[in-house]
A = this chain, B = another copy of it.
Amino acid sequence: MTTIPAFVPPQRTLMGPGPSDVAPSVLKAMSAPLLGHLDPVFVKMMDEIKAMLRQVFITKNEMTFPVSGTGSAGMEFCCANLIEPGDEVIIGVNGVFGTRMCDVAERCGAKVIKVEAPWGQIIEPKQVAEALRHHRPKFVAIVHAETSTGALTPVEEISKMAHDRGSLMLLDTVTSLGGCPVRLDDWGIDAVYSGTQKCLSCPPGLSPVSLSPRALEVATKRKTKVQSWYLDVNLLASYWGEQRVYHHTAPISMNYALHEALRLVLEEGLENRWLRHERNHLGLKAGLKELGLGIASQEGHQLWQLNAVTVPEGADEAGVRKQLLTDFSIEIGAGLGPMKGKIWRIGLMGATSTPENVKKVLGALKTCLNK
């Protein structure tokens, strides 16, 4: 048999759409020896993760825990548990992730009503209001921070409208959580999922989710079985709840990492962390302006953690990204869908969001663009 040498990754500065840089103590946490998934010591740690996630989501929801998959598994968790075949749902579509959610929801048997906005723009409350005049959906779903476009859609007003119509409110916070305000209970969010590898600065592999008591009731009182066994909250609740019934083997080391990453978030403090993300975004934006570069997403609604930079006329979009990676070991992201070739996506997420990194990427960009 051929022997492949051990893998030694180079040291990158991760300034793309995620994963972001991970703090040394989080990396170290993963190298701790394994415990069994029913070990009382591990079970206590699970409770601490749940408690910390509630603090980070700013919610009292008992049903708050990490799904054993990446952010997209969290999206599927919410859809699969809440949708029964034939249900109508309203989904805001202004980028890759709203588009993806329509696909996921349809595979769960939903009749999807799309509320669309051009990529880079936000979903306006009045658009949702109009859709709600004609429909009474199971839920209204919004992608809070569209990672593909860099736009942040305000959701408080939309959430209120959904509730007034008797619908649940579902929110994708994959890129927003830990990088800008996310207030589940204040905003009346019923179902939410996130990812670990963005502003929580934990490696990818888990998806923190939370269901309000109202959403949980919908999931537990449904007439049909949840189509996914792996993601069925009725089964997962027995493992992550008091009973500790074996469901699947939890990804032990990933949970170690999440525990440490959440600890760092709370140690810094949510408000401080949001401010840091805002400050470094503003620093980047100012520096980009000096280079003659602008941000493509809607003014007033630009994400702090993910900057969609307009590729200037005549620049070699892919060439610049390649040069950043090979000459500076900096990863940035490409545009997707209609924005392919038109934007670079520069992430300032979690541990990546520092003044040093802002300076580093601006300097490197200057070189690559011969400015």
Contacts and interface: CB of A to CB of B under 8 A. Distances in A.
Contact of A33 (B12, B45, B108, B205): B12
Contacts of A217: none
Interface residues of A, number: 85
Interface of A: 1-4, 6-12, 14, 16, 18-22, 25, 27-37, 39-42, 45, 48, 51-52, 55, 68-73, 75-76, 100, 103-104, 106-108, 195, 197, 203-205, 225-230, 246-254, 256-257, 259-260, 263, 266-267, 269-270, 325, 331, 336
Contact of A229 (B103, B197, B256, B259): B103
Counting chain B CB atoms within 10 Å of each CB, the highest count among A16, A34, A249 belongs to: A34
B30 A31 contact: yes
A348 to B, nearest CB: 15
Contacts of A76: 228-230
Contact of A19 (B8, B36, B68, B229): B36
A264 B129 CA distance: 58
Contact of A68 (B39, B55, B205, B269): B205
A52 B55 CA distance: 42
Given A33-B12, A45-B7, A18 B249 contact: yes
10 contacts: A1-B55, A9-B35, A12-B34, A19-B249, A34-B203, A70-B250, A106-B225, A107-B225, A197-B249, A253-B257
Nearest to A100: B229
A14 B30 contact: no
Contacts of A225: 106-107
A3 B249 contact: no
Nearest to A251: B205
A260 B8 CA distance: 10
Given A9-B42, A16-B36, A34-B22, A71 B226 contact: no
A256 B12 CA distance: 15
A104 B226 CA distance: 10
